[in-house]
Amino acid sequence: MGALAWLGIPVGAGVLALLWAAWAARPPRATGDGASLAEHQRFLAAMERSTGSHQVADRQGS
């Protein structure tokens, strides 16, 4: 009976590892196009604020 208990520990750990591996390898959820576009626009706005878009426009004009 004790041997069965010692066998159950690695079997249980293996099952938990298998479940975790399946969860970790699942494909990422796709975001909608609208959400992706909104995120990109927020990123661009943040970059313009941090770099100062007027400086970039001046360099392009010369």
Residue 14 domain boundaries: 2-25+36-61
Q: Is residue 46 part of a domain?
A: yes
Query: Is 51 domain-assigned?
Result: yes
Task: Give the CA angle between residues 45, 51, 57 to the nearest 5°.
Answer: 90
The pLDDT tens digits of the residues spanning 14-57 come to 999 999 999 999 988 776 777 788 888 999 999 888 766 555 44
The predicted pLDDT at position 53 comes to: 54
**Which pLDDT belongs to residue 49?**
82
Distances (CA, A) of 40 to 2, 3, 17, 21, 26: 59, 58, 37, 31, 25
- Per-residue confidence (pLDDT) for residue 15, from 0 to 100: 98
pLDDT at 31: 65
Residue 30 lies in a domain: no
Q: Is the pLDDT reported for residue 59 higher than 80?
A: no
